[in-house]
Amino acid sequence: MSISSVRSEIVVLKVCFADLARLSASRPADWRKQYLALRRTASECLGRMARHADLVDDEATIRPLVVQLVHLVSLHQAEWPVVAIDLDDPAYTSSRVSIEATLARLASAVEQVRRAA
């Protein structure tokens, strides 16, 4: 696997996170069901990303960010299970923003490694 595999998973995660934000804002009647499906997709993506990150030439740069992202998402999902999410809780929003910022740092690092290759 190459850095392009990690990059592809970042694209999938960005789409998932954007869809989660859209659901948080619009809150359709079945938002919890949709939210759960998106969380499942994100978790699967994170698993693939972690495996790919182990095979990247510049693992020292990429792997710690992937580990941090997986950790933050795990904590977030444990703190706010779908059935108990309070979308208006500032702590929930702060956690989500922290995850998104870590994903942005990872995406930037992946682009730097890709350009250097």
37 CB contacts (<8 Å, ≥6 apart)? none
Residue 4 has pLDDT above 90, yes or no: no
What would the mean pLDDT of 96-104 be, rounded to a whole number?
A: 96
19-47 per-position pLDDT tens digit: 999 998 999 999 999 999 999 999 999 99
User: pLDDT band at residue 115, thresholds of 50, 70 and 90?
Assistant: confident
Tell me the domains of the chain and their CATH numbers.
3-116 (1.20.120)
Q: Which residue has the tokens 């804002």?
A: 25
pLDDT at res. 57:
66
Q: What's the predicted TM-score (pTM) here?
A: 0.89
pLDDT digits (tens, 9 = 90+) for 40-97: 999 999 999 988 887 776 667 888 999 999 999 999 999 999 998 888 899 999 999 9
